[in-house]
Amino acid sequence: MKNFFIYLIIVLIFSQQLAQSQEIKDKNVLIVWGGWEGHNPKLFSDIVEKWLIKNNANVTVSNSLNAYSNFEYLMKF
């Protein structure tokens, strides 16, 4: 049991450092939302968009799958 907690602490420290090293500043992010309204896709999209903008990402939001139809456009992300 003691070894389990030691491994758990090591994994948590490593994952925290990895998460902090993943900067999204100035990255282009495409959010495509849609689906069953009961899942509140627009609300979730808005929350994620606000968080990304707060972290200085370049965000594009679409509620259509047409965003996936242009390869050159997708290469920007």
Confidence at 12, pLDDT banded by 50, 70, 90: confident
- Nearest residue to 30 (alpha-carbon basis) of 76, 72, 50, 39: 76
* Per-residue pLDDT tens over the stretch 51-72: 999 999 999 999 999 989 999 9
* Domain ranges across the chain: 24-77
Single pTM value for the model: 0.66
- Residue 48 clears pLDDT 90, i.e. is over it: yes
C-alpha 1: how far from its chain's center? 35
Average pLDDT score over residue span 25-40: 89
- Residue 1 clears pLDDT 80, i.e. is over it: no
Average pLDDT over all residues of the chain: 85
The three state secondary structure string of 8-33 is HHHHHHHHHHHHHHCCCCCCEEEEEC
